[in-house]
Structure 1
Amino acid sequence: MIQEIQQFKADFFKALAHPLRIRILEVLCEGDKTVNEIQSLLGSEGSAVSQQLAVLRNKNVVIGRKDGTSVIYSLTDPLIKDLLGVAKQIFDNHLINAISMLENIKKTSADEPSLKS
């Protein structure tokens, strides 16, 4: 059972491993959208959006339902929104740590006497 969970996690994160797929998910966090709406919001080509939606669909991250001639996409699980929020928090923490490190380096450099020949 543990191996199945680990494999599910690996497959799930592989499905997220593309910037356009992340952008699509962020758009879908705001609500269900058609391909045209997603394409318009992202300013991306339809074929690229469709290809990435296919990957997300195949990994059961998004679902599509027919509405007339359109397909409306939505997240399969609302927790995906939380996951993306946590990922942003982790990024922010790394950014804060990097800024803090740079400030310490800058302060240390300013405190050290300069070497003159």
Structure 2
Amino acid sequence: MQVPLYQAKAEFFRMLGHPARIRILELLQHGPVPVRDLLADIEIEPSSLSQQLAVLRRAGIVVSIREGSTVKYALAGGDVAELLRSARRILTELLAGRNQLLAELQQTDIAPPQATAEVSTPARSAQGAV
């Protein structure tokens, strides 16, 4: 049975749905990075970084490159970098819209609540007449 495209997309975004994975991908946008540099920049435990890299590697999003005793990681293709740039543009637009709304709210004069006259109810009127 073939997986519907929308389900495959949802699984793809779920796979990306970890802050450490997004940070790894951001760091790899400009070329291969040694694992030791990823550790220094992300500040997570080595075992956790290894797990996150394994998830990305199994998904085919990153590749490992061995140079002597150094292991570097790189994006498997440029489309992931474009996806991250698109996400940044979308977030920027969303936040700009919120900032505009906030500015409008802050500029709007909020009228003080009107003093309400005490409304007499039939029970009060009857008591007052006694």
TM-score (norm 1): 0.84
Larger proportion of helix? 1
The residue number in structure 1 matching 2:99 is 99
Deviation at 1:3, TM superposition (A): 4.5
Structure with larger RCO (C-alpha < 8 A, sep 6+): 1
- Where do 5+ consecutive residues of structure 1 fail to align? none
Which has the larger displacement, 56-65 or 2-11?
2-11
Contact (CA 8 Å) 1:11, 1:59: kept in 2 or not? Answer: no
How does 1:43-62 map onto structure 2 within 5 Å? 43-62=43-62
Is 2:105 the counterpart of 1:83?
no
Identity of aligned residues (%): 34
Cα distance change, pair 114–30 in 1 and its aligned pair in 2 (3 A): same
How does 1:8-47 map onto structure 2 within 5 Å? 8-47=8-47
Which runs of structure 1 show a deviation greater than 4 angstroms over 4 or more consecutive aligned residues? none
- Where do 5+ consecutive residues of structure 2 fail to align? 116-130
TM-score (norm 2): 0.77
The residue number in structure 2 matching 1:113 is 111
Aligned residues: 114
SS at match of 1:73: strand
SS at match of 1:21: helix
SS at match of 1:54: helix
Deviation at 1:99, TM superposition (A): 0.9
Which residue identity is paired with 2:90?
Answer: I
Which deviations, in whole Å up to 9, do the C-alpha atoms of 1:25-75 show, x marking residues without a partner? 000002101211111122332112111101111111111122223322110
